[in-house]
Amino acid sequence: APLDRPDRTNPDLRVDGARLWASLTDMARIGATARGGSCRLALSDEDRQGRDLFVGWCRAAGCSVTVDGLGNIFARRPGRENHRPPVLIGSHLDTQPTGGRFDGVFGVLAGLEVIRTLNDLDLTTDRPLEVAVWTNEEGARFAPSMLGSGVFAGVHEADWALARTDADGVSVAEALRQTGYAGDAPVGGRPLHAVFEAHIEQGPILEAEGLVIGAVTGAQAQRWYDVTLTGVESHAGTTPMERRRDALLGAARLIDLAERTARAHGPDGRITVGVVAVHPGTRNVVPGRVFLTLDVRHPDDAEIDAIERALRDGLKGICAGIGLKGAMTPLSADAAVTFDPALVDSVRRAAAGAGYRARDMVSGAGHDACHLATFAPTAMIFVPCVDGLSHNEAEDARPEWLEAGATVLLRAVLDAARL
Ligand code: GLV
Ligand code: MN
Ligand code: MN
Ligand code: MN
């Protein structure tokens, strides 16, 4: 029966946690890894299957589905006033190669669960609702991360994004055609009334404090760089140590410098070298060329500027010392984000209304919501994950935490969808 107070002041208003869990479990079968994780690289065949499953569920829930030129999917539930900009709930279905079952997926399926719950309640909102799946959030197959939402938000050019290639030279445009998700809707260029993203925290704070809800006030700045060090390939047995121009030695010194630089900008500085490719990569040749990636994060834009300078100066010194050529090319630079204070407050009140203790927190991870926040009022809801572990096949979350997050999402969405 419909609740007589279908809003966040009604303590009984909640989603169906068992249904949400069942959908998460069904989705996790696609691209399941031997160690219990998920591998659905962006626009792979597994990603296509996951998208197809989601689209089928949305149609069954009465939504109309559109796909834009970047493959972003929008499942729409009409409201009473459909000319009004929608309230949008979104996240991603793609994963890291050794990803977990919840990163991204939870935010998408929590959105679907909101829609299913409203259907159960036979409740029509004033504004239309949309659940979005953003293309290539992870950046694991195509760099940079948060690509589909970045184009939607006007942070990246569509043509530039479509031309990004994976390690085999396959472009985003080709992969969209291969998966059948090269849609015809224009990318972005339309207003959104409010945006919500629910996500696992991917860090240890909520679990350590025994809380189930984080009201996310913002996210830290993040920059990605490609680095190439070029020396001279030479014979391992005959080239004296003092004559070597070993690109991998330069890389080792740079990795060490990165760790020290992050600590010098502590406790919040983070620098990660996640990819190292050594050329020619054979035992008895001094490496002539190394490619590596830098992922740099800090909550303060000025600090991240200083970190970049330290890395650039350091790279110059390292190269001069060994006789290498070094290039450090920026790939993306996302400024620190502050989410919409009114929406963040709505999340806090939604948590209180449902009886959950919450705390404010800043996201250490990047999210599609960070791009959307540049042009629409945006907020995020975090729930704990076990041991704070994410970007790992062992990533885990308790069903009751996910139910709590989706319930807070439902209440905050209802609040925003009201005229
Ligand atoms: C992507 O998931 C990121 O936050 O790096
Ligand atoms: Mn994510
Ligand atoms: Mn991720
Ligand atoms: Mn992320």
Return d(Cα 55, Cα 120) in angstroms, integer: 19
Residue nearest to atom 1 of ligand 1 (CA): 138
Q: What percent of the chain has pLDDT over 90?
A: 97
- My answer on whether omega of the bond before 377 falls inside 30° of 0, hence cis, is no
Q: How would residue 3 be classed by pLDDT, with cut points 50, 70 and 90?
A: low
Q: Is 366 in the pocket of ligand 1 (CB under 6 A)?
A: yes
Q: Is 393 in the pocket of ligand 1 (CB under 6 A)?
A: no
CA angle 166, 171, 174 (to 5 degrees): 130
3-17, 49-63, 144-158, 290-304, range with the lowest pLDDT: 3-17
Residue pLDDT, tens place only, 355-370: 999 999 999 999 999 9
- For residue 276, the surrounding DSSP H or E stretch is strand 276-279
Dig out the tokens for 322 from the structure: 């060994």
Residue pLDDT, tens place only, 235-275: 999 999 999 999 999 999 999 999 999 999 999 999 999 99
Q: Where in the chain is the domain with CATH 3.40.630.10?
A: 17-220+336-417
Q: Where in the chain is the domain with CATH 3.30.70.360?
A: 221-334
Ligand 1 mean position, distance from CA 145 (Å)? 7
CB 386 within 8 A of CB 397: yes
Q: Is 278 helix (H, G, I), strand (E, B) or coil?
A: strand
pLDDT of amino acid 60? 98
Q: How many CB atoms lie within 10 A of CB 229?
A: 28
Mean pLDDT of 25-45: 98
pTM for this model (two decimals) = 0.96
Dig out the tokens for 323 from the structure: 């006789």
CATH T-level topology, domain 17-220+336-417: Aminopeptidase (3.40.630)
Residue nearest to atom 2 of ligand 1 (CA): 138
**Residues with CB in 5 Å of ion ligand 2:** 103-104
**Residues with CB in 5 Å of ion ligand 3:** 103
Q: Which residues neighbour 253 within 8 Å (Cβ) at sequence distance 6 or greater?
A: 318, 321, 322
Dig out the tokens for 274 from the structure: 């996640």
At residue 381, φ and ψ (nearest 5 deg) are -120, 125
**Strand partners for 89:** 131, 196
Q: Is 138 in the pocket of ligand 1 (CB under 6 A)?
A: yes
Residue nearest to atom 3 of ligand 1 (CA): 366
Q: Domain 221-334, CATH 3.30.70.360 — does that match? A: yes
Mean pLDDT of 34-38: 97
Ligand 2 mean position, distance from CA 92 (Å)? 7
Q: Is 147 in the pocket of ligand 1 (CB under 6 A)?
A: no
Q: Which residues neighbour 82 within 8 Å (Cβ) at sequence distance 6 or greater?
A: 128
| pLDDT for 35 beyond 70 | yes
Q: Is 218 in the pocket of ligand 1 (CB under 6 A)?
A: no
